[in-house]
Amino acid sequence: MPDWQQIVSGELSGIALEPDEKSQVLEELAGHLEEDYQSLLSQGISDEGAIQRALKRVDDWQVLKQMIESARKKENPMPKRVTQFWLPAFLTLLLSMVLLTVIEVFGPHPWISPTPGGRLRMTPVAVVYVSWLLFLPLIGALGAYMSRRAGGSARVVFFSIVFPILPYLAFFLIGLPLALILDHHVAHNITIPALFVGLSAWVIFPADALLAGGWPVHFFASRRLISRRSAGS
């Protein structure tokens, strides 16, 4: 029995497609040729004759290659950077912000870390939206799926997943130190434990939640791609 994927791969060598797209095209064409081949065999045609006649269904492999490349470009008009990073990144950011706003308006109420004696620290620093954290894995999974589906590398997928926490990280790395330096009242009200609680609530915990949902999606998608490439080789 002929290895149709290997035959198609040889005929379409050098085709300008992403690895995922190329694998899909080779698999589909090989499947069509296999169907034609089996149909010809059932008509009593010899094995060699069935192979030759099945291959003749494609008039010109170079023309077919150009048609496939042209069709794929029309299907994916946006630049790779947009589809692999910016689109999934901003979608995860938008969904996480909308979800947080809905929770702030309708509840449930966040957990707020109190100081000894019952007085509260600076509220934005010590607030933990537990319900928000529970939904973030779904958002992270969506971002990873979109980025990986568009052919994003592991690094691109990672930043697409954790993109929603970057504004908070920038606040703690840049905005808060400036506020502490410029405003003595803010510096007086923020204690070191409260700073770490805020960093955990707005950066570390959300990042962990996003990655808990997104990284398994990336892992299984990568495994599936490797399996498909192995089967096609």
Question: What is the reported pTM?
Answer: 0.59
Between 127 and 50, the more confident residue is: 50
Res 87: pLDDT: 92
Instruction: Express as a percent the part of the chain with pLDDT over 90.
Output: 25
Instruction: Return d(Cα 107, Cα 13) in angstroms, integer.
Output: 57
* Last residue within a domain, chosen from 75, 106, 131: 75
Same-domain status, 66 and 86: no
Specify which of 21-25, 82-86, 162-166 reaches the highest per-range mean pLDDT.
162-166
Residues 161 and 92: beta-carbon distance below 8 Å: yes
Same-domain status, 63 and 87: no
Same-domain status, 64 and 87: no
* Last residue within a domain, chosen from 54, 75, 96: 75
Res 194: pLDDT: 64
Gyration radius from the chain CA atoms: 27
Which of 198, 28, 220, 233 is closest to 125 using CA atoms?
198
Instruction: Return d(Cα 144, Cα 222) in angstroms, integer.
Output: 11
Res 154: pLDDT: 86
Same-domain status, 66 and 115: no
For residue range 88-133, what is the model confidence (pLDDT) as tens digits?
Answer: 999 999 999 999 999 989 988 887 766 544 444 444 446 778 899 9
Rounded to the nearest 10 degrees, the angle between the axes of helix 130-149 and helix 87-106 is 160
Backbone angles phi, psi at 20, to 5 degrees: -65, -45
Length of the chain: 233
Is pLDDT of 163 > 60?
yes
Q: What is the DSSP string of 11-45?
A: HTTT----HHHHHHHHHHHHHHHHHHHHHHHHTT-
Is pLDDT of 214 > 50?
yes
Which two tokens mark 190?
Answer: 């923020």
Same-domain status, 50 and 102: no
CA 132 to chain centre: 20
Same-domain status, 124 and 212: yes
For residue range 215-231, what is the model confidence (pLDDT) as tens digits?
Answer: 999 888 777 655 554 45
Same-domain status, 194 and 176: yes
Res 153: pLDDT: 83
Same-domain status, 209 and 191: yes
Q: Which domain holds residue 106?
A: 80-232
Least confident of 58-62, 84-88, 180-184: 180-184
Same-domain status, 131 and 115: yes
Q: Residue 82: what residue type? A: V
Same-domain status, 173 and 106: yes
Res 216: pLDDT: 92
Task: For the chain, give the mean pLDDT.
Answer: 79
Same-domain status, 62 and 104: no
* Last residue within a domain, chosen from 75, 101, 132: 75
Same-domain status, 184 and 91: yes
Tell me the β-bridge partners of 114: 120
Res 136: pLDDT: 95
What value does the mean pLDDT take over residues 20-42? 83
- The Cβ-side half-sphere exposure at 113, using a 13 Å CA radius, reads 19
Count: domains in the chain: 2
Res 132: pLDDT: 93
